Structure 1
C-alpha cells in the first residue's frame, strides 16, 4: 500500500476544496451571526469539544482572544455531564465543535448552555445531527463524509470556520482577503516535501511536538495523530512551557517537531528549537520563510493565523506515509472508532 492509497491521505488532500466550498456556502450564515455578535457582544466565549475538535478549540482561543479581545475558555464536559454542576453561562457565546455532532456529553453541555442563557453555535460536519438541532446557529463544516478514523479534512475545516467567523465578526478586510487566497495556498502546499519527517521518525519511540500561540492547537493535533496512526508516543507543549521541566528528557534519542508562524512568537520558538539541537536532538522545524537543516517547507504570504492550516495539511500527508513505513494502517488505528460517544 502507498500513502496515496489511504483514506487519510486522500481526505487530507481534499482540504483545499473543502475550505473553498465551506467559505462560499457559509458566507450568509457567518455574516448574519457576526452582525448579531457585534450588536450584542458576549461577555465571554466558551468552547466545548473532544479530541481533534478540542484542538481546533485551542486554536480558536488564540484567534478570538488576539483578534476580538474576548476571553475564551474551554469547558470541561464532565462538569456538566457527570457532575451535573450548573454553570453561569448567561450572555456567553458557547461554541461546540464536532465532526459527528452526537457525543452524549457534548450534547448535554450544549443543552445546559442554552438553558443557562448562552448563545449556542455548532461547528459540525453532520448538519442533521443532534448537536445541530440544539444550536441557535449552525456553521456546517462541509467536509463531506470522512471515512478514515483519523480526522483530517474535518479538522482543517473547523479551523477554517473559526477564521471565517473571526474575519466577519472583527470586520478585518485583510483577513477576509486572505481567506480568499487560502484554498489556493493549501493546494500549493500539498506538494511540499516533508519526506525528511516520515523518514527521520521511522525508528523513533518518543518525541515532543512544540508550538506556540496559533500553532499550539496543531501541535496538540499532531501529537494525537502520531499516537493513533503511527504507534509513536508524542506529547505536545507550548514553546513557552516545554523548558519548565519537559526539556530534561530531550537529547540525542529524543526528536522534536516544531511548528511556528511568522508573528511575535517566531523568534522565541526558533530559539527553543536551537536549544534542542544543542542538546543533540534531531529537530524538525515547519515555519514559513525558515530554511536550513531539518526545516520542512511551509507556504508564506498569508497572515500568521492561516499558517496552522497549511502546516497541519502537510503534516497529515507525512503522517500517513510514516504510519505505513512503521507497519500501521492509518485508516484503522487499533482499538479506535470514528465516533467516540463519551458520557
Structure 2
C-alpha cells in the first residue's frame, strides 16, 4: 500500500480548502460568540474533549490564556459521567470539542458544566449531534465526512475554529490577519518533505515528541497518531517536563521529534535539541536550527507564531501516513480502534 492511496493522506490534503471554507462560513457565529464573551467575560474556562479533540483543547487552552488571560483548565469528564457530580462554575466558559458530538461522557460533562452555570460553546463536526443540543452555541467545524479512523482534517479544523474564536474574542489584529493567510499556508505545509525522518523512524520502537506552549497540543497529537497509525510507542512532553526524569531514557540512537513555534519558547527548544544530540539521540527539529548534530525538517515560515502549530501538524500528517505504510500498517484502519469511541 502506498501512503498516497490512503484515506488519511487524501483527507489531510483537504485541510487548507476546508479551513478556508470554515473561516468564511463561520464569520457570523464566531462574531456572535466573541461578542457574548466580551460583554460577559468568563471568570474561567473549561475544556472538554477526548483523543484528538482533547489535544485540540490543549491548543485552545494556551491560546485562551496567552491571548485573553482567562485561566483555563481541562474538565475531568468522569467526574460528571461516572461519579455523577455537577461542578459549580458560575460565570465560566465551557469549550467542548468533538468530531462526532456523541460520546456520552463528553455530552454529560458539557451538560453538567451548563447546569453548574457555564456558557457552553461546542466546536463540533456533526451539527445537530447530542453535544450541539446541549451547547448554548455551536461553532461547526465543517470538515465534512472523515472516513479514515485517524483524524486529520477534523483536528486541523478544530484548531482553526478555536483560533478564529479566540482572535475575535481578543481583538488581536495580527492573529486575525494570520488567519486570513492560514489556508494557503496549510497547503504549503502539506508539500514540506519530512522524509529525512523515515529511515530512523521506520525501525524505531520508542519516540519522544516535544513541544511547548501553544505547540504542546500538536506534540500530543503527533504522539497519538504515531501510536494509532504506526504502532510506535511515542510520548509527548514539553521542553520543560522532559528534563524532569524522561531525559534519563534518551541514549544513543533514541529518536526525538521537536515541534517548536517561533515564539518565546523557541530558544529553549534549540537548547534542548542540542542537549539531546550530545547524548547521542537522533534529533529531528521542525524548522531551521543551529543546534549541531540535529536534522532540520523544512517548515513554512511567515505565519503568525500562534498558528505555526497548525502548519507543523499538517506537515507531520504527511510523514505519519508515509511512515505508517512503510512500517506495514494501514493508517485508515488502526487495530482495535473505531472512528467514534463512545466512552462513558
Indicate whether the TM-score tops 0.5: yes
1:330 matched residue in structure 2: 331
Aligned to 1:144: 144
Which segments of 5 or more consecutive residues in structure 1 lack a partner in the other structure? none
1:156 to 2:160 alignment: no
1:100 aligns with 2:100: yes
The answer to whether residue 168 in structure 2 is matched with residue 183 in structure 1 is no
Distance 2:289 2:309 in 1: 15
Alpha-carbon offset, residue 2 of structure 1:
1.3
| Counterpart position of 1:341 | 342
TM-score by length of 1: 0.98
- TM-score, L = length of structure 2: 0.98
Q: Is the contact made by 1:207 and 1:234 (CA closer than 8 Å) also made in structure 2?
A: yes
Deviations 1:118-160 (A, max 9, x none): 1010000001211111111100000000000000000000000
Report deviation, 1:291: 6.7
Distance in 1 (CA, whole Å) between partners of 2:79 and 2:116 is 14
Between the aligned partners of 1:238 and 1:173, the Cα distance in structure 2 is 28
The 3-state SS of whatever aligns with 2:240 is coil
Instruction: Give the match's secondary structure for 2:202.
Output: coil
Tell me the distance in 2 between the aligned counterparts of 1:237 and 1:294.
Answer: 19
1:294 aligns with 2:295: yes
- Does the CA contact (< 8 Å) of 1:198 and 1:319 recur in 2? no
Partner of 1:139: helix, strand, or coil?
Answer: strand
Separation of aligned partners in 1, 2:40 and 2:194: 45
Which residue pairs with 1:320 in the alignment? Answer: 321
Corresponding residue for residue 170 of structure 1: 170
- Whole-angstrom distance in 1 between the partners of 2:147 and 2:72: 31
The equivalent of 2:214 in structure 1 is 214
Structure 1 stretches of 4+ moved >4 Å: none
1:47 corresponds to = 47
Question: More displaced, 20-29 or 194-203?
Answer: 194-203
How many residue pairs get aligned? The number is 342
Which piece of structure 1 moves more, 86-95 or 118-127? 86-95
- Once residues 6 and 170 of structure 2 are traced to their aligned partners in structure 1, the CA distance between those partners, rounded to angstroms, is 39
1:191-202 aligned at under 5 Å gives the runs: 191-202=191-202
Alpha-carbon distance, 1:85 to partner: 1.8
Instruction: Report the counterpart of residue 131 of structure 1 in structure 2.
Output: 131
2:56 — aligned with what?
56
2:86–2:115: 8 Å Cα contact kept in structure 1? Answer: no
- How many Å separate the matches in 2 of 1:253 and 1:226? 18
Instruction: Give the CA deviation at 1:89.
Output: 1.3
Q: Deviations over 1:277-309 (max 9, x none)?
A: 00001000013x447851111111111111001
1:89 aligns to what? Answer: 89
Q: Which deviates more, 187-196 or 24-33?
A: 187-196
Confirm or deny that 1:6 pairs with 2:6: yes
Q: What do the CA deviations read for 1:288-332 (whole angstroms, capped 9, x no partner)? A: x44785111111111111100100001011000000000000000
Contact 1:101 1:124 in 2 (8 A): yes
> Hey, what's the Cα distance between the residues in 2 that align with 1:79 and 1:161?
27
| Residue of structure 1 equivalent to 2:278 | 278
Distance between the aligned counterparts of 2:197 and 2:277, measured in 1?
16
Report the Cα distance in structure 2 between the residues aligned to 1:78 and 1:189, rounded to whole angstroms. 37
Q: Distance in 2 between matches of 1:10 and 1:309?
A: 17
* Consecutive unaligned residues in structure 2, runs of 5 or more: none
In the TM superposition, residue 170 of structure 1 has moved relative to its aligned partner by 0.7
- Note the 1:206-285 alignment, pairs <5 A: 206-285=206-285
**Shift of residue 230, structure 1, vs aligned partner:** 0.2
2 CA distance for matches of 1:280 and 1:18? 41
